[in-house]
């Protein structure tokens, strides 16, 4: 695929671009944006054939709408035929976009909604953005800032309420909870668990993860990690003949005494006493 930058304007926390694309053959690839990227096919220069997309976990594809929003860490599989088109896009710094739009969390359902959204106001605003950067005037920057303010306000309405006006749940999605559990399990041994990494895996900011995790589970992230470690410790003590120091290392504790103290604090007995009770007929 050949890409040509037609025009670009960079403002604080957002970059507006017009780009043309040419593809000579059928192509399928995984697309992942490092920013929140809002795009629109320009009406007179849109592709002749449908560009289709799907989530990596899906098999069936669906057509990309005239306006779409890609979120960080939310990859999609995109495929299309030989074609050419031109689009306008706004790329927002993730933290700033979350603040402007007041997005608390991002889910696969939201990816689906924003890759299939049809909103005449957003379409008109993006068309105006394209004209402003292709044919700049004396007050182009001020006009761009005003348009972007309207765009983020409208996107916020969709993100929070959906197109049908129903408020979205403020809790984490099941796939996010599963991803958190998997990541905690994978990184438990090396002790590298941190909120920033967990938030990135769920495509939300750390502060939103902390709040939404509490609303979803009733527990803090730290408390959840402690509880998960305890569950694994109990299972290892019951089912394996590992030495206590090896269990401590496996669970990411710095020393066996740290493991023993944490275990005693949670269950009121030492790991050795717990194992002995399990073996008592």
**How many separate helices (H) and strands (E) can be counted in the chain?**
11, 9
Please give the CATH topology (third level) of the domain spanning 174-279.
Answer: Arc Repressor Mutant, subunit A (1.10.10)
> Which of left, alpha, beta for 81 (phi over 0: left; psi -120 to 50: alpha)?
beta
pLDDT at residue 166, as a whole number: 38
Q: Is the pTM of this model over 0.75?
A: no
Q: What is the mean pLDDT of residues 214-233?
A: 85
> Which of left, alpha, beta for 252 (phi over 0: left; psi -120 to 50: alpha)?
left
pLDDT at residue 18, as a whole number: 95
Q: What is the mean pLDDT of residues 90-96?
A: 87
pLDDT at residue 114, as a whole number: 79
pLDDT at residue 162, as a whole number: 53
pLDDT at residue 105, as a whole number: 66
Q: What is the mean pLDDT of the chain?
A: 83
Largest CA distance in the chain: 87
Using one digit for the tens of pLDDT, what is the confidence trace for 38-65?
Answer: 999 998 888 888 888 888 887 888 888 8
pLDDT bucket at 185, cuts 50 / 70 / 90: confident
Using one digit for the tens of pLDDT, what is the confidence trace for 116-169?
Answer: 777 888 899 999 999 999 998 878 788 888 998 898 888 877 766 554 433 445
Nearest to 258 by CA among 226, 236, 232, 228: 226
- Total number of residues shown for the chain: 281
pLDDT at residue 240, as a whole number: 67
Domain ranges of the chain: 2-161, 174-279
User: Which one is predicted more confidently, 91 or 207?
Assistant: 91
Write down the H helix ranges in 86-119: 94-101, 108-114
Q: Which residues lie across from 2 on neighbouring strands? A: 22
- Which CATH number is 2-161 given? 2.60.120.10
* pLDDT-above-70 percentage for the chain: 90
């Amino acid at each position: 695929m050949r890409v040509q930058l037609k025009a670009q304007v960079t403002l604080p926390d957002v970059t507006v671009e017009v780009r043309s694309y040419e593809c000579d053959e059928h192509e399928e690839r995984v697309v992942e944006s490092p920013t929140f990227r809002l795009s629109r096919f320009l009406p007179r220069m849109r592709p002749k054939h449908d560009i289709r997309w799907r989530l990596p976990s899906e098999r069936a594809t669906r057509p990309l709408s005239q306006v779409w929003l890609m979120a960080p860490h939310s990859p999609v599989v995109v495929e299309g035929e030989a074609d050419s088109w031109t689009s306008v896009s706004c790329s927002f710094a993730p933290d700033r976009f979350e603040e402007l739009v007041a997005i608390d969390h991002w889910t696969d359902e939201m990816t689906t909604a924003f890759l299939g959204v049809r909103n005449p106001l957003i379409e008109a605003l993006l068309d105006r953005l394209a004209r402003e950067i292709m044919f700049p005037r004396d007050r182009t920057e001020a006009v761009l800032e005003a348009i972007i303010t309207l765009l983020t306000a409208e996107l916020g309405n969709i993100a929070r309420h959906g197109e049908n006006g129903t408020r979205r749940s403020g809790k984490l999605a099941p796939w996010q909870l599963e991803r958190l559990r998997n990541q905690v399990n994978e990184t438990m041994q090396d002790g590298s668990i941190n909120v920033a990494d967990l938030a990135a895996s769920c495509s939300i900011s750390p502060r939103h993860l902390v709040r939404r995790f509490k609303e979803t589970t009733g527990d803090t992230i730290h408390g959840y990690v402690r509880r998960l470690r305890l569950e694994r410790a109990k299972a290892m003590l019951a089912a394996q003949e590992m030495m206590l120091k090896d269990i401590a290392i496996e669970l990411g504790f710095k020393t066996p005494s740290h493991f023993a103290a944490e275990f005693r604090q949670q269950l009121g007995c030492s790991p050795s006493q717990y194992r002995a009770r399990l073996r008592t007929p």
